[in-house]
Amino acid sequence: MYEERFDKRGFDELRPMEAETGIIPNAKGSARFRIGNTEAIAAVYGPEEVKPKHFEKVDKGIIMCKYDMLPFSVPDRAKPGMDRRDMEISDVITNALNRAVILEEFPRSMITVRVYVTQADAGTRCASLTAASMACADAGLPMRDLVAAVAAGKIGDSICLDLTKEEEDFHEGGATDVPIGFLPSKNEIVLLQLDGKVTKEELSRIVEMGKLGAMKIYELEKSVLQGRFSNESKS
């Protein structure tokens, strides 16, 4: 049984959030997204020449994403360099951004996205994808829509939104984690992974809760970006 969350949140409640853009002057676009004790910073470079050349596509651009957890992001110092998990998350973010960015506008070009997790308390791939989406928008890339991402899941017998590391490690009844990336204007899920076991009906409830949570993140993304471009137009 899991009747009350460790941090006293409601089962459908997100952790406190904050976001900002334009934080890395030398990047084409950049953003920081924080949810609870998880924080990610993303930077976008390009469009530029494709390297190596054999990755080039004549009809559209490509996105190359690199996800990296900084050594000080977790209590047990993370090992430097990319491991299998980092490469998998890099691919996950790339695939989601491929659905969001209109790459047909950049034939024979490459857009590089670097994402750094500065603090980790679960949900790092979702925070990273959200930050990367905002950074792409900050860079002025044409987009179908922003991507908003959050994890939902099942702890014991309770469906929960935005799990923490403490909840992911909950052993009494087990925990299931479902990262969800949502493209609201298309009503399209661009990221859906499942770590654990749930019934079909439970998965449906988890996805719906995740989409509702993603919409709250989406509103924050839009508000921050609107403020950023509004301030630029006044200056």
Is the predicted pLDDT of residue 228 greater than 80, yes or no?
no
Give how far Cα 59 sits from Cα of 36, 48, 55, 107, 145, Å: 41, 15, 12, 5, 21
Hey, which bits of the chain come out as E strands? 17-21, 29-35, 38-49, 62-69, 109-119, 148-155, 158-161, 175-183, 188-192
The pLDDT score that the predictor gives to residue 2 is 81
The pLDDT score that the predictor gives to residue 52 is 87
Note the pLDDT tens digit of each residue in 108-131: 999 999 999 999 999 999 999 999
pTM over 0.85: yes
Note the pLDDT tens digit of each residue in 180-209: 999 999 999 999 999 888 999 999 999 999
Note the pLDDT tens digit of each residue in 42-91: 999 999 999 889 999 999 999 999 999 887 666 665 566 677 889 999 99
Q: Would you tell me which CATH number, out of the four given (3.40.1710.10, 3.30.230.70, 2.40.110.10, 3.90.25.10), belongs to the domain 17-229? A: 3.30.230.70
Burial bucket for residue 57 (CB in 10 Å: 0-12, 13-18, 19+): middle
Give how far Cα 216 sits from Cα of 103, 108, 134, 200, Å: 27, 36, 14, 25
Give how far Cα 130 sits from Cα of 90, 97, 111, 182, Å: 13, 10, 17, 10
Note the pLDDT tens digit of each residue in 144-184: 999 999 999 999 889 999 999 999 887 666 789 999 999 99
> What value does the mean pLDDT of the chain take?
92
Q: Residue 197: CB partners within 8 Å, gap ≥ 6?
A: 174, 176
